[in-house]
Structure 1
Amino acid sequence: MNSYTAQKAYYSQKIEETPDWEMAGLFADEGITGTSMKKRKEFNCMITACKRGRIDLILTKSLSRFARNTVDCLEIVRMLKARGIGVIFEKENINTLTVSSEFLITLFSGFAQAESESLSTNVGLGIRMAMKDGKVNFHYNTMLGYRKGEDGKPEIVPEEAQVIRRIYQRYLDGCSEGQIAKELDREGTPTAKGVKAWSHQVVHSILCNEKYIGDALLQKTYVTDCINKQVKKNNGELPQYYIENNHPAIIPRNIYQQVREEMTRRASKRKVMQKSGKTEQGKYSGKYALSEKLICGECGTPYKRCTWARNGEKRIVWRCISRLEFGKKYCHESPTMPEDKLQSAILTVLNRAARQNSEFHDEVLDIVCAAKCGPQDSTVDLLAMERRLEELTEQQNRLLDRVLANMADTTLTDQLKELADEKQALTDAISAAKADALRKANQESRVEEFREFIAQNSQGFTQYDDEVVRKMVERITVIDAETILVRLRDSDVEIEQTVC
């Protein structure tokens, strides 16, 4: 017999023993929470029935079954009492219609709340101990790309993994998060089960989720307490645990790192219009590739796409933002560039690069070689520094024992401080070396991808394409009305081209 059936039989018998009573209903919630009224469907139905005058008296087994939040309990009891409705708590032998009932309710509900808080604390400690031991909980309903395998561990869903890979690639192609979301919505790409529709927030969370590289960061958020149940982002209030290689990866680490770098680059850009002074950078735009790549050779300000209308004819041109905003105050001679001629000149440069003339080919080979050699040399230095760090740690432990045995010896104390300073400097150097090795490895990966893209398009391009420009071009400098200088991505190669 379950709890609901047992309570129904119990109170049915009490009604039979009291002929002048009539049962208005039995209200019993599942054991989810007693500290909040939001999820207590049956309890709220009972309160509604009271407000409509259908209940005169409430029988409750104990106060902890009624509510475990002292404030809520008192508010509800006072509201019912004002309507002449009493609540009888059998275990505590309290009738809320009596004079002394409120003091007793405060006392016993406080005990019930304290019990819930203690239980919540113990559960939280258990969860944090599990995190410390490396146990990762997956929310499969709201996470695209993974499902629970037969062994209970995460396994990749091939169809969903393709969507994840596409999102990362489209972002690196230059698309904004909003553009990616619109593409997926337009094509009817299914979302995760717990997600209603694609949005730039959903795309952003996928791009920032370390689980797609096989890792897991635990305790990103935490619940403040069991009463308010407010979820907050963990900004150092509680320890976090990072688990590497916890499950199969969908995204390679170098691609994930490139996305993070691209996010940082886009976030660092300022608005293109600033009336207070000279504009140096443009806000990232996913609409036109030239919005962030076309730069004025005189003042270094980005160019902006404009529409000119003369004699009933519209014409698309690109103009220096500083010249548009401040006239000739900062920029005196920046030319206006017609879009069609500009795109034609850029297309010519891309075709020259795609055909791999000897100068460009040799430059790429030199960069690839430097990128490959860099991490190997740094690996040797890194291993040496890590061995030295282990030696310093052992020396520090031995010296610490001597210091504890002779606290008055200032010489030992000074030696211990020197070791600690050297250890800290070495730790910082190791972190910097790892970051540098990762940067070089990412550069190598980008150059290899660049070469593969050029190899795939060795016959050249038939028309201008913003995505191709984002893949191949780092910056385009406007020298004058007839000349531009195109710098290719991940290289020092700059190609001068005439605009005509």
Structure 2
Amino acid sequence: MACFTASSFSMSRDAVASSKSRMGLLARAIEIRRLDEMQAQGRSIFDTDLAVAYYARVSTDKDKQINSLSNQKRYFEDCIAENPHWRFTGGYVDEGISGTSVEGREQFLKMIEDAKRGTFDLIITKEISRFARNTLDSLRYTRELLRFGVGVYFQNDNINTFDKDAELRLTIMSSIAQDEVRKLSERTRFGFKRAQKNSVLLGQNNLFGYNKTDGRLEIIEPEAAIVREVFERYTAGELGLRAIANDLDRRGIRGRQGRPFHYSTLYGMIRNPKYKGCYAGRRYASRDYRDKRSYRLSEDKWLVHEDDRIPAIVSEALWEQANRRL
């Protein structure tokens, strides 16, 4: 009777895994060869047996965009189902994600990993700007997909990456899409500057202690009481912001969406001139439209002045005292 030790069993299991991996690579190599033959014979992706997936993305989570996404999904599923040569393998959808880079786009990155495993042969997407608005990303990922025998068909741009001239056309169209992002960023930045110069109250309705209505801020008294407590306890000098945040959490006092207060939350609260009844603009800026990170401007560049649309929650004297202690 054969006797197997734990070591020999482990080696056997590793050998099986290695064998499966080699078989997977071999199967993928055969599939890539089949796709090469498709091109050599002049056949299109539409009359070739292919496993097909789709990729869709919307950049915000607003209802209108989500409805657009739902329509995209239904359209792609119907489109794939109508072709007798295609087998639907599923879709990959990123909601509320910017297309400037692939960073943070979980479904996109999962799609790339599934492509490496040979899950599908072709990805259909609406247009290049849905796939990537960065030229480098477009080329990098379409090249990587082709190495694994997977093509991308950009419907609106009529680009199929299996075609010989696809990369040239993709580079041109990706550059145009990237430049559109730059122009949009510049227009948005210009609009912000004009709005700030005219003291327009920007931002969403998420400032703790206030409710934004018709371009004015209204005090929410239960929240305002917590803001006053933070300022008063901090200026008293007995506790730091981290200790105050911990005490609020212990007492079950939370911010918007039920999130606990942290040091950074209270630091931002103390620094915000709106709490003393002032308009505050141009406090942050970004260096590059491709980099969404912002940096804080020095106070001499801020636009700060009294504004009757912003009722004060704390006095100016208390605000100044708290800020001197930061």
Match of 1:79 in 2: 144
CA contact (8 A) 2:80 2:87 kept: no
Match of 2:176 among 95, 100, 111: 111
Match of 1:65 in 2: 130
Tell me the matched-pair count: 258
Match of 1:158 in 2: 221
Match of 1:148 in 2: 212
**1:167 aligned to 2:167?**
no
Distance 2:73 2:316 in 1: 57
Match of 1:216 among 253, 258, 279: 279
Is the partner of 1:37 in helix, strand or coil? coil
Distance 2:142 2:126 in 1: 15
CA contact (8 A) 2:196 2:281 kept: yes
- The structural deviation recorded for 1:29 is 4.5
Match of 1:34 in 2: 99
Distance 1:201 1:62 in 2: 40
**1:240 aligned to 2:302?**
yes
Q: Which runs of 5+ in 2 are unaligned?
A: 1-66
CA contact (8 A) 2:92 2:107 kept: yes
Change (3 A) 1:82 1:160: same
TM-score (norm 1): 0.46
Distance 2:228 2:249 in 1: 16
Match of 2:63 in 1: none
Match of 1:249 among 297, 301, 312: 312
Change (3 A) 1:117 1:133: same
**More off after superposition, 189-198 vs 119-128:** 189-198
CA contact (8 A) 2:89 2:119 kept: yes
- The structural deviation recorded for 1:135 is 0.9
**1:94 aligned to 2:169?**
no
- The structural deviation recorded for 1:114 is 0.5
- The structural deviation recorded for 1:171 is 2.4
The AA in structure 2 aligned to 1:165 is R
Is the partner of 2:267 in helix, strand or coil? helix
The AA in structure 1 aligned to 2:145 is L
Q: Which runs of 5+ in 1 are unaligned?
A: 265-500
Distance 1:14 1:48 in 2: 21
Change (3 A) 1:138 1:250: farther
Match of 1:12 in 2: 78
CA contact (8 A) 2:283 2:301 kept: no
- The structural deviation recorded for 1:166 is 1.9
- The structural deviation recorded for 1:152 is 5.3
Identity of aligned residues (%): 32
What is the CA deviation profile of residues 95-120 of structure 1, one whole-angstrom value per residue up to 9, with x for unaligned ones?
32344332322221111100111111
Matching of residues 193-342 of structure 1 within 5 Å: 193=256, 196-235=259-298, 240-245=302-307, 246-261=309-324, 263=325
What is the CA deviation profile of residues 395-421 of structure 1, one whole-angstrom value per residue up to 9, with x for unaligned ones?
xxxxxxxxxxxxxxxxxxxxxxxxxxx
Distance 1:107 1:59 in 2: 19
Distance 1:41 1:89 in 2: 20
The AA in structure 1 aligned to 2:249 is D
Distance 2:126 2:73 in 1: 9
Change (3 A) 1:11 1:254: closer
- The structural deviation recorded for 1:74 is 1.3
Whichever of the two has the greater Rg, that structure is: 1
Is the partner of 1:25 in helix, strand or coil? strand
Distance 1:234 1:208 in 2: 13
Matching of residues 406-445 of structure 1 within 5 Å: none
Is the partner of 1:212 in helix, strand or coil? helix
Match of 1:126 in 2: 191
CA contact (8 A) 1:80 1:86 kept: yes
CA contact (8 A) 1:70 1:110 kept: yes
Distance 2:78 2:265 in 1: 52
- The structural deviation recorded for 1:130 is 1.0
The AA in structure 1 aligned to 2:152 is V
TM-score (norm 2): 0.68
- The structural deviation recorded for 1:23 is 1.9
Match of 2:32 in 1: none
Change (3 A) 1:210 1:36: same
Is the partner of 2:248 in helix, strand or coil? helix
Change (3 A) 1:14 1:209: closer
Distance 1:6 1:218 in 2: 38
- The structural deviation recorded for 1:242 is 1.7
The AA in structure 2 aligned to 1:116 is V
- The structural deviation recorded for 1:201 is 3.2
Distance 1:158 1:77 in 2: 54
What is the CA deviation profile of residues 301-346 of structure 1, one whole-angstrom value per residue up to 9, with x for unaligned ones?
xxxxxxxxxxxxxxxxxxxxxxxxxxxxxxxxxxxxxxxxxxxxxx
Structure with more relative contact order (C-alpha pairs < 8 Å, separation 6 or more):
2
What is the CA deviation profile of residues 174-196 of structure 1, one whole-angstrom value per residue up to 9, with x for unaligned ones?
2232443343333x151321574
Is the partner of 1:230 in helix, strand or coil? strand
CA contact (8 A) 2:201 2:216 kept: no
**1:183 aligned to 2:251?**
no
Give the RMSD, CA atoms, in angstroms: 2.9
Change (3 A) 1:167 1:58: closer
Distance 1:220 1:199 in 2: 21
